[in-house]
Structures are given as C-alpha cells and as structure tokens.
Amino acid sequence: MRTSRARLVVGSAVLVAATAAALVVPTAAQAAPSGDTTVTFILSAGALSITTPATAALGSAAVGAATITAQLGAVTVTDARGLLLGAWTTAVTATSFTTGTATTPETLPNSAVAYWSGPATATTGLGVGIPGQAAAGSAQVLSTSRTAFSKTAGVGNNSSAWNPTLIVTVPAEAVAGTYTGTVTHSVA
C-alpha cells in the first residue's frame, strides 16, 4: 500500500505544478538586467546637380583687339547622393559666338574661346577637388568638350564652386556687334 500512496502523492504534485503553470499570466516584457532593441532608419539619397550663371557679360573691346578676358561667374556642383566614395566630373563646351545674321565675318568659332577653371573658390564636405585648368597658362580652347572640374573620394554630401575665366581671341577681321554664344557645363 505504501507504493500506491507514493504514486498518488507524486501524481498529485505533478497535477498541482501543471495547474500552477497554466495559471501564470504572461507579462509584456521579462524583467532582466539589460535588453537590446534593434533600431533601423533610412537615409535617402539626393541628386548630383550643377548651377551656373544664367547670363554673363564679358565686357567689350575695340574691333581688332587681341583678346577679351573675363570671369564667367560661379559654377557650383552639389553632390547630395550620400555616397561612401563618390566621384564626379564636370565637362564644359561652347558654341560659336555670333552677331547680326551669323555670316562668316559675324561668327567667332568656339576654337576662338579658351577656358580655365582656376582653383575651387568654395567647398563643403570631404573629397579631393581637381581643377581642369588650374592656371591661365593651362587654358584650353572649347572647340571640343573639356574637363572643367572634378572630385574624387567625395564622402556623403559635398559641393565645390569655381569661377572660370573665358579668353576670347578676336581676329582682326571680326565685325563690330554684340556677340552671343552659349557655354554649357554638365556633370556626371
């Protein structure tokens, strides 16, 4: 009889423990000395953009003058792509400059227009800015696309600005008038 009673006591203890476990109400968080929460957020990438002067007046010179030299105005590249190692290059081109009805004597070809970027006049963020033409002696004619400015190893958001100089070589046979052309900067 003792054996049955011991089984009955053990069986009752198991039943009591199972009932007590079933009555435990779960809590919102378990109490512990520390706890970790994984947190995420998103940083959205912006764009690579360029701003240039809408117009520029280079001044005037007498017919037969050798050159007209003037600064174009600030050109600014803003890189808001948020890259770890971003790079960009700005190209510059020009059209011919014409007056009147753009006959041959009223046209200065883009090979008569030289460009030099000079150094950066303002920068933000990280990266290495490289002028396409650091000094007047390295000016390049715009008869073909030229590198105006570039940046390597740009980290996160950054910007660079420069104030390029145009040098227009005026031939002796040029006719008097107001000459108009377009200088185009693009960035990629």
If we measure between CA atoms, which residue out of 94, 76, 93, 89 comes closest to residue 149? 89
If we measure between CA atoms, which residue out of 173, 166, 179, 181 comes closest to residue 67? 166
Kindly tell me if the per-residue pLDDT of 18 is higher than 60: no
Token readout for 86 is 């971003």
Please report the pLDDT score of residue 161 as a whole number. Answer: 98
DSSP class of residue 2 equals H
Domain boundaries, the chain: 48-187
Please report the pLDDT score of residue 100 as a whole number. Answer: 96
The pLDDT tens digits of the residues spanning 125-149 come to 999 999 999 999 999 999 999 999 9
User: Phi-psi region for residue 127, left (φ > 0), alpha (ψ -120 to 50) or beta?
Assistant: left
If we measure between CA atoms, which residue out of 95, 136, 135 comes closest to residue 112? 95
Share the mean pLDDT of the chain: 88
Instruction: Note if the pTM is more than 0.75.
Output: yes
Q: Chain-centre distance of CA 77, in angstroms?
A: 6
Mean pLDDT of 45-69: 93
Query: CA-CA distances (angstroms) from residue 157 to 29, 44, 45, 188?
Result: 41, 12, 9, 15
* DSSP per residue, 144-168: S-EEEEEEEEEEEEEEEEE--EEEE
Q: Which residues of 122-143 are buried (b: 16+ CB within 10 A; e: fewer)?
A: ebebebebbbbbeeeeebbbbe
Contact status, residue 141 vs residue 93, Cβ threshold 8 Å: no
User: Could you tell me whether strands 75-94 and 146-162 are parallel, antiparallel, or unpaired per DSSP bridges?
Assistant: antiparallel
Mean pLDDT of 38-53: 94
Band the pLDDT of 14: cuts 50, 70, 90: very low
Mean pLDDT of 12-34: 58
Band the pLDDT of 186: cuts 50, 70, 90: very high
CA torsion 173→179→180→182, rounded to 10°? 40
Kindly tell me if the per-residue pLDDT of 65 is higher than 90: no
Mean pLDDT of 74-81: 97
Please report the pLDDT score of residue 6 as a whole number. Answer: 47
